[in-house]
């Protein structure tokens, strides 16, 4: 009996020793992992581990998400992983569905927008890695990185490439790209109006290029005002500066009557400007061309509108 008691005591001592050793080892591991955990928590990127099966559940989501999407966004996501679908931008919704169903190309970054608690959409670049078990897609882990600054810079560069520095309207490169699109890819009813300032050289010679630049700017502003009043969809009327004193206007999804009405509106605004301004008058020759189908017709329309503009300009000279 005594022997059995001694063996039990020795067994308990061994068990306690092993448990204590395991505890010490675990404490050491936690100590070593603490800096790594702290690094993850302090990262500016949103790290996550999302279970797909057996049900949608975040095993980890870094608290830094609240720096971007607002207070309580961490709790919302942990409580309801489907909340992601509610805040992703409508244009990116299908991409989100494809990602969570494992159908996206995970070798490429995933660019999406998510709405914060103030209703503003922020841009994120996501690198995600799918996890499979026995060939079945069961989880994703990855990182969301905010790229608002990069997107803003990209948009600013794109704006500079497509806009005229003096007038802040579209430039010739954008105009020609649009003509190519309507000529080859997008079939619409379309009109081209070419406008040319009549006395810019004289104003530059007599009053200086600063006044001449002001004339160009005011003319562009006037044409843009007419364009903005014309349609609800701003893409249906575009104004571009295609030369020193030359502007081009494209009207899509239009008809001949609307084009004539637009031209009358432009002339009325010019007349009103000239009545109200003492510095200089805007004098502009205009030519236009229309076709109900743009495919294969854009060069012809441009030449026709340009020819009519020069004809009007020459008629003004001969009638003096």
- pLDDT at residue 221, rounded to an integer: 97
Do 116 and 171 have their domain in common?
no
CB neighbours (10 Å) of residue 252? Answer: 18
Asked if 241 contacts 223 with a C-beta cutoff of 8 angstroms, the reply is no
Cis peptide before 251 (omega within 30 of 0): no
Asked if 246 contacts 277 with a C-beta cutoff of 8 angstroms, the reply is no
pLDDT at 39 over 60: no
Domain for residue 36, yes or no? no
Q: Which residue, of 151, 177, 207, is where some domain finishes?
A: 151
Do 214 and 277 have their domain in common?
yes
> What distance in Å separates the CA atoms of residue 253 and residue 190, rounded to the nearest whole number?
6
Do 174 and 308 have their domain in common?
yes
- pTM exceeds 0.85, yes or no: no
Do 197 and 137 have their domain in common?
no
> What distance in Å separates the CA atoms of residue 279 and residue 217, rounded to the nearest whole number?
14
> What distance in Å separates the CA atoms of residue 250 and residue 169, rounded to the nearest whole number?
13
- pLDDT at residue 78, rounded to an integer: 94
- pLDDT at residue 102, rounded to an integer: 93
State the average pLDDT over residues 298-312: 96
Do 289 and 178 have their domain in common?
yes
Domain for residue 61, yes or no? yes
- pLDDT at residue 44, rounded to an integer: 86
Split at pLDDT 50, 70, 90, the class of 94 is: very high
CATH code: domain of residue 235: 3.30.70.270
Domain for residue 249, yes or no? yes
Q: Which residue, of 87, 119, 151, is where some domain finishes?
A: 151
State the average pLDDT over residues 260-289: 93
Give the range of the structural domain holding residue 60, as residue numbers without chain letter.
Answer: 44-151
pLDDT digit string (tens) for 164-199?
999 999 999 999 999 999 999 999 999 999 999 998
Do 92 and 237 have their domain in common?
no
Nearest to 247 by CA among 310, 301, 173, 194: 194
- pLDDT at residue 22, rounded to an integer: 58
- pLDDT at residue 17, rounded to an integer: 57
State the average pLDDT over residues 224-229: 92
Domain tally for the chain?
A: 2
Domain for residue 24, yes or no? no
Do 137 and 179 have their domain in common?
no
Q: Mean pLDDT of all residues in the chain?
A: 88
Domain for residue 32, yes or no? no
Do 177 and 261 have their domain in common?
yes
Do 248 and 296 have their domain in common?
yes
CB neighbours (10 Å) of residue 270? Answer: 20
pLDDT at 34 over 60: no
Do 97 and 186 have their domain in common?
no
Q: Which residue, of 110, 130, 151, is where some domain finishes?
A: 151
CATH code: domain of residue 125: 3.30.450.20
- pLDDT at residue 280, rounded to an integer: 86
pLDDT at 20 over 50: yes
- pLDDT at residue 119, rounded to an integer: 96
DSSP character at residue 296 = T
Domain for residue 171, yes or no? yes
Domain for residue 1, yes or no? no
User: Could you give the percent of the chain with pLDDT greater than 70?
Assistant: 83
pLDDT at 137 over 70: yes
- pLDDT at residue 262, rounded to an integer: 95
Nearest to 234 by CA among 209, 252, 218: 252
- pLDDT at residue 35, rounded to an integer: 44
State the average pLDDT over residues 49-77: 94
Split at pLDDT 50, 70, 90, the class of 32 is: very low
Least confident of 2-16, 41-55, 232-246: 2-16
Do 82 and 180 have their domain in common?
no
pLDDT at 18 over 80: no
Tokens representing 147? 């790229």
Domain for residue 17, yes or no? no
3-state secondary structure of 264: helix
Split at pLDDT 50, 70, 90, the class of 316 is: confident
- pLDDT at residue 315, rounded to an integer: 86
Q: For the sheet with 121-133, list strands across it.
A: 57-61, 46-51, 136-146, 121-133, 110-115
Q: Which residues pair with 272 in a beta bridge?
A: none
- Provide DSSP, 103-118: -S-TTS-EEEEEE-TT
Do 214 and 168 have their domain in common?
yes
3-state secondary structure of 247: strand
> What distance in Å separates the CA atoms of residue 193 and residue 209, rounded to the nearest whole number?
26
Residue 50 phi/psi, 5° resolution?
-120, 120
- pLDDT at residue 37, rounded to an integer: 46
């Amino acid at each position: 009996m005594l022997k059995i008691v001694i063996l039990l005591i020795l067994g308990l001592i061994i068990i306690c020793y092993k448990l204590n050793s395991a505890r010490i080892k675990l404490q050491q591991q936690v100590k070593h992992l603490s800096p790594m955990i702290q690094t993850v928590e302090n990262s500016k990127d949103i790290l996550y581990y999302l279970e797909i099966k057996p049900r949608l559940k975040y095993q980890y989501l870094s608290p830094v998400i609240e720096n971007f999407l607002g207070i309580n966004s961490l709790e919302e996501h942990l409580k309801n992983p489907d909340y992601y679908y509610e805040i992703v931008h409508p244009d990116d919704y299908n991409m989100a569905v494809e990602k969570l169903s494992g159908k996206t190309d995970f070798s490429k970054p995933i660019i999406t927008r998510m709405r914060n608690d103030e209703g503003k959409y922020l841009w994120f670049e996501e690198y995600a890695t799918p996890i499979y078990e026995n060939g079945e897609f069961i989880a994703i882990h990855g990182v969301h990185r905010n790229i608002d600054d990069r997107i803003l810079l990209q948009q600013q560069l794109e704006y500079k490439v497509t806009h005229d520095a003096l007038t802040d309207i579209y430039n010739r490169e954008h105009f020609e790209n649009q003509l190519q699109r309507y000529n080859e890819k997008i079939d619409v009813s379309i009109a081209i109006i070419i406008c040319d300032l009549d006395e810019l050289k004289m104003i530059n010679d007599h009053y200086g290029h600063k006044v001449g630049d002001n004339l160009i700017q005011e003319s562009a502003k006037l044409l843009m005002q007419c364009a903005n009043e014309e349609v609800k969809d701003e893409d249906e009327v575009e104004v571009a500066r295609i030369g020193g004193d030359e502007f081009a206007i494209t009207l899509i999804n239009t008809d001949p009557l609307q084009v004539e009405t637009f031209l009358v509106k432009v002339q009325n605004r010019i007349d009103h400007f000239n009545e109200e301004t003492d510095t200089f008058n805007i004098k502009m020759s205009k030519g236009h061309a229309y076709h109900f189908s743009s495919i294969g017709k854009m060069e012809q329309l441009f030449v026709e509108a340009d020819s009519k503009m020069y004809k009007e300009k020459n008629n003004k000279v001969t009638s003096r």
